[in-house]
Amino acid sequence: MAKADYYDQLGVDRSASTAELKSAYRKLAKQYHPDVNPGDAASEQKFKDVSEAYDVLKDDQSRAAYDQFGHAAFEQGGAGGQGGFGGQGGFSGFGDIGDIFEEFFGGRGGGPGQGRRQPQRGDDLRTQVDISLQEAYDGTERQVNLTRAAACGTCRGSGAKPGSQPTTCGTCQGHGKVRAQQGFFTIERPCHQCQGRGQVIGDPCGDCRGGGQTRESRNLSVAIPAGVEDGTRIRLSGEGNAGPNGAAYGDLYVFVNIAPHGILRREGADLFCAMPVAFDIAVRGGTVNVPLMGNKAVKLSIPAGAHSGQQFRLRGKGMPVLRARNYGDLYVQIEVEIPTGLSREQKKRFEAFADSLDDANYPDLAAFTDRAEKS
């Protein structure tokens, strides 16, 4: 039999607002709630149906998927099946139904619509690698060592001794949850016996003692691309911890930490360098060598009369742009260095030279003196 339309289940128009959906659902859920209709199978089914319909339609993303693909959007292997909306933070089945009960029954009721917990993928792991700016420029590779939870090879993560099978938990009959009456309310709790898995291991695997997991030491090679930025996160899919009961592995996140460089400061793909320039070069003009990445240098012409704080841009001499062919720029800000520690002879020569200078050689000073006299 074809599944009824979710909008029809809730008795609302396809254009219904989120508030209208919620109000329709609350009305129907109260009417058909199993606690209100004990032992009434038809009500229970109706309750399940409206809960399912509301759970899909209340979320914009899953509602859009339903509008486009219908029920097929939420079937295994369908357009929105596992890996589609099943991802973390996305549409996640019927996990939120309990919220509504908290609102109007005062306790976390759960519902018959809630199935046994699906196997969850394993935890993500994180680690850090330290590299130099030079390595960030060139791209590099790092070995990372880590210990993770792996699916037991002997039982393939099931925890059951090879040849035996996990059996249905007797306490919860495989539901993974147990119900308890508390006054007027029926409360559901994860089953203590099976930790909510619905299955128990009668004959545990000798290698993992029934846990389904073993510790595993891994040595991984991580490729770090040229142009990587400080704090970049590289994801190694499936290199995290194994999930429980043979479920999928989580991911490994490698955070890249770039050590500060001795003379270069980075902003995005651009590099900045504050460079002292000899007094005489600044006076007469000349060429200086600007140190670059990879022990290379580039020549920079300093014009006669250059002053401290002046900035020069060397196009394409910055960092490579991540996953692109272009480079940022290098900005060189010069600091004119005044010679110190002069000998007597040097001082004498300098005085002779200084005496030859006049206002034409110091236009800024002349203008300043002029303004000071007039004010």
User: Contact residues for Zn ion (CB under 5 A)?
Assistant: 152, 154-155, 169, 171-172, 191, 193-194, 205, 207-208
Closer by beta carbon to Zn ion, 43 or else 195: 195
Closer by beta carbon to Zn ion, 43 or else 193: 193
Angstrom distance (rounded) from CA 308 to CA 134: 28
Residue 223's Cβ-side half-sphere holds a number of Cα atoms within 13 Å equal to: 3
Query: Min. distance of Cβ 171 from Zn ion in angstroms?
Result: 4
Closer by beta carbon to Zn ion, 208 or else 273: 208
Closer by beta carbon to Zn ion, 169 or else 302: 169
Query: Min. distance of Cβ 180 from Zn ion in angstroms?
Result: 14
Query: Min. distance of Cβ 99 from Zn ion in angstroms?
Result: 24
> Which residue's structure tokens are 């291991």?
201
Closer by beta carbon to Zn ion, 86 or else 119: 119
Closer by beta carbon to Zn ion, 132 or else 154: 154
Query: Min. distance of Cβ 159 from Zn ion in angstroms?
Result: 6
